[in-house]
A and B are shown apart, each in its own frame.
Chain A
């Protein structure tokens, strides 16, 4: 479809052009052209009716879905949510303790929320679990050791958006420290490696 498809008045003016300049004073041509005047009046009426319809639709309580719709959507989401894999923290005869990847990432986000100018986004956690030999090179295969004293080693990969105008290296260092404190305090394990990627800036 080309611009020629835009309707034109008999005088040759395009509707598009009249619409674009509708808030301005009529041009010399428009002032004397009857077709332009009619089109201007009609488009002005349309513009006003559009504005009013927009406004009344926005505030019309009848133009909203019932609350049950939101519940139905969230029920589906809840039923299908992925919690990510579980990470083994501790293993002993009396039982194991695991933590879901999601629990770790939500803890990391709470920590990140304490740093001004940072919005945390995706979070991926890689793990060398407590049962896996924490340092394979020190313990050749066949070596047994109690897993309880071998803490899991985390590799936290966090993507963030940073506020416009902040000093990024200093802020990211503060974020890294906050996460480094939050994991031992909230979970009881070291943060291991924390990789932060600033993927976007947001307006303040």
Chain B
């Protein structure tokens, strides 16, 4: 187990890894945790704008996935399932937030100021990376945070994570056609918003 387990076959397909994790193979599950924790974190961070809460989403999502693995009928559906769990946990959290403090829906309170966005850029990282961080991205993240949560999730899942219309539809409980419409409106609003940024 864990540190002691047999070496993992390097080219193993994800379906096989998921099937082994379903069998209780901890090494296989750890492989999935390593493969998805950063993706889920990036999604949750862009949804919630809070490092600690994004970490909580990562932990809750992957722990839930371990407990529910046996119920997953199609081993090739693991990725979509993980994204669905994580997205819905983010949306739940945002609903709780807005229920607790009405003001939280105001963009100003959502940590979307240019300074807050700039904070996502690590200080002292390599200069080429920092130079890449443009004002355009400040604008993009700021406008993104003004979108309603479901629309933001839709845009992030498609544009930042490359998930399919069908999968996003299942996650947000809307049709693939509605996903297309939501995306178009999100792009339109972000593009408009960015043109008015500073």
Contact = CB atoms under 8 A, between A and B. Distances in A.
Given A46-B187, A161-B16, A113 B9 contact: yes
Contacts, number: 182
29 contacts: A3-B181, A5-B185, A16-B184, A19-B187, A45-B136, A45-B191, A49-B134, A49-B139, A49-B194, A50-B140, A50-B160, A52-B134, A56-B137, A57-B42, A57-B46, A64-B41, A65-B37, A65-B59, A69-B37, A70-B30, A70-B34, A74-B30, A77-B63, A80-B67, A82-B24, A121-B16, A159-B19, A161-B16, A200-B75
Contact of B184 (A15, A81, A121): A15
B180 A16 contact: yes
A3 B177 contact: yes
Interface in B78-124: 120-122
Contacts of A16: 180, 184
B19 A78 contact: no
Given A78-B1, A84-B24, 9 more contacts: A3-B181, A5-B185, A42-B192, A46-B140, A52-B137, A65-B41, A119-B9, A120-B16, A160-B16
A102 B24 contact: yes
B58 A65 contact: yes
Interface in B117-154: 120-122, 125, 129, 132-134, 136-137, 139-141
B95 to A, nearest CB: 20
A72 interface: yes
B178 interface: yes
Contacts of A5: 181, 185
B45 interface: yes
B15 A15 contact: no
Interface string A44-56: 0110111011111
Interface of B: 1-2, 5-6, 9, 12-13, 15-16, 19-20, 22-26, 29-30, 33-34, 37-38, 41-42, 45-46, 51, 54-55, 58-59, 62-63, 66-67, 75-76, 120-122, 125, 129, 132-134, 136-137, 139-141, 159-160, 174-175, 177-178, 180-182, 184-185, 187-188, 190-192, 194-195
A168 interface: no
A1 B182 CA distance: 9
Q: Is the interface of B mostly helix, strand, loop or mixed?
A: helix
Contact of A1 (B5, B178, B190): B178
A77 B22 CA distance: 12
Contacts of A72: 59
B145 to A, nearest CB: 13
Interface stretch (A103-111, A126-134, A142-150, A169-177): A103-111
Contact of B132 (A7, A52, A113): A52
A106 to B, nearest CB: 7
Contacts of A113: 9
A122 B76 CA distance: 13
B184 A80 contact: no
B180 A58 contact: no
Interface in A155-204: 159-161, 200, 202-203
A80 B86 CA distance: 21
Given A54-B160, A161-B16, A69 B140 contact: no
A59 B129 contact: yes
Given A53-B160, A77-B29, A202 B13 contact: yes
